[in-house]
Amino acid sequence: MNNDNKAKFAFGMVGLGTMGRNLLLNMADNGFAVTGYDKSEKMLQFFEEEGKEHNLKGFADINQFVESLQSPRTIILLVPAGAIVDSVITELQPLLDEGDIIIDSGNSHFTDTSRRSLELKDKGIHFFGMGISGGEEGARFGPSMMPGGDKQAYAVVKDMLEAVSAKVNGDPCVTYIGPGASGHFVKMTHNGIEYAIMQLLAEAYEILKNGLNCNNQQIQQVFESWNNGRLQSFLMEITKDVFLFKDVKTGNLLVDEIKDEAKSKGTGKWTSQVAMDVETPIPTIDAAVSSRNLSKLKSLRVELEEVYGPSTKIEANEDFINDLEEAFYFAMATAYAQGMHLLWQASKQFEYELNLAEIAKIWRGGCIIRATFLEDIYQAYITNPDLQHLYGDAGIQAKIKQSIKGTRNVVSSSINAGIAIPALASALTYFDTLKTGRMPSNLTQAQRDFFGAHTFERIDSEGVFHANWNDKNL
């Protein structure tokens, strides 16, 4: 199909739900000619009402939508991940020419992005996956964006993406991530870190409420105080505000009226799964994923509490809140460290050529895990671009050492009181394991060789060995 001379739109969006609509409005605010396509007349109506300042119009006919775009056409998809993305691509493909561009901006699994990229490359269509973080407000006023894949296609949209992204110190929170499905891989890892920090906040809440018997006002004041210091972050900011929000129906704080079952859309699970595949431990993220699943076992939890009894109060002195701040800092830093280590390992294994400093840089604004600590991460990778693990950075090491004593007090006190702290405890155990020069894994390998002849290596000789463990004369 040839684009006619009447084409006027530089960018088109498939999917005019909240995220797609807000991103288009953001693009229009920055002077770009945009349009959208959606099968829902309701979504089209919302788009045109909200975009009336720019006289924005959308299409319910996909042929008219494609014909309205300038060549080479650039089409952004913001539709639910999975089969719907494939369905949209199948619908678009016959209408496109060689050189046209498709950008998948949903939370697609990175393996799907790899497959789609290869399939469309064979047909002469440029494709890349782009993770977007920041929710609907970020999409509207400046998200963090993680585009990866076809570098030639990225060059076409670079100026637009930099214009609509969040800014930190004037720097746009978007960069070319790398080849293949690297953009979606980085976004998936971002979401894994997000799971971990949200779980850590929930555990801090549990300790304050049930361990220390704090009321909601006191809890709010703790989170507000933390947000005014080194723990400042988007997630801390919204958490302190949660404890101020009244329920219209009851007049109570809304958080107290919400059922204690946490849902998920799968990106945290994907992070854990791929970490297992590339043999990179991320136990704090894993614990956060498992905790959401545990929360769904509501009836069983209630039944077992009646059998075994509830948690007890923590016997704490006046310094315990300070220790809790230290523990949160330590575990938060560990969650980021696990995510960055996963990116380091995946970059080698999948040849993504990731620049970890640039990734930390674009996460400083716009995204859900933006935090003051990301500046420390950014500086760590600027100082040493080949840094394998954040625990190895001198600046972060000093802060970790200062936080250990308080962390151990909080973890041991919580466990003694029967308070579940899976993410906090896993962070400490992960740290203790990584700083152990000789683990007891020699015993594990001996057992494997005993029952399965899996062999072992020796500390005094090169090579691979097997012992006759059933030799009773030994």
Which of 121-125, 203-207, 339-343, 353-357 shows the lowest per-residue confidence on average (mean pLDDT)? 121-125
For 332, half-sphere exposure in the C-beta direction (CA atoms, 13 angstrom radius) is: 29
**pLDDT reported for residue 474:** 57
Q: Report the percent of the chain where pLDDT is more than 90.
A: 92
* pLDDT above 80: residue 426: yes
30 has a pLDDT exceeding 60: yes
Within 13 Å, how many C-alpha atoms sit on residue 144's CB side? 26
Residue 441 has a pLDDT of 97
Give pLDDT tens digits for 367-378: 999 999 999 999
Q: Which two tokens stand for residue 454?
A: 């899996």
Other beta carbons within 10 angstroms of residue 286's beta carbon come to 24
What's the pLDDT at 424? 98
Residue 434 CA to residue 470 CA, distance in Å, equals 34
Question: Does the pLDDT of residue 4 top 70, yes or no?
Answer: no
Q: What is the pLDDT of residues 78-89, one digit of tens each?
A: 999 999 999 999
What is the average pLDDT score of the chain? 95
143 band by pLDDT with thresholds 50, 70 and 90:
very high
Q: What are the angstrom distances between the C-alpha of 440 and each of 326, 408, 419, 434, 436?
A: 29, 22, 28, 13, 10
Active site (catalytic) residues:
187, 194
Give me 22's structure tokens. 């807000």
Per-residue pLDDT at 251? 94
What is the arithmetic mean of pLDDT over 336-350? 97
| Mean predicted confidence (pLDDT) in 115-124 | 92
| Residues written for the chain | 474
Domains (range + CATH), the chain: 11-180 (3.40.50.720), 187-434 (1.10.1040.10), 449-474 (no CATH)
Residue from 67, 70, 56, 53 nearest 21 by CA: 56
**How many whole angstroms separate alpha carbon 296 and alpha carbon 384?**
42
**CA-based nearest residue to 34, from 55, 50, 18:** 55
Q: Read off the pLDDT of each residue in 300-325 and give the average, rounded to a whole number.
A: 95
Q: What is the mean pLDDT of residues 408-431?
A: 98
> What is the per-residue pLDDT across 354-369, written as a single tens digit (0 to 9) for each?
999 999 999 999 999 9
Percentage of the residues of the chain whose pLDDT score is greater than 70 = 98
pLDDT at 473 > cutoff 70:
no
- Summarised one tens digit per residue, pLDDT across range 387-414 is 999 999 999 999 999 999 999 999 999 9
What is residue 171's predicted lDDT score, i.e. its pLDDT?
Answer: 95
pTM of the model: 0.94
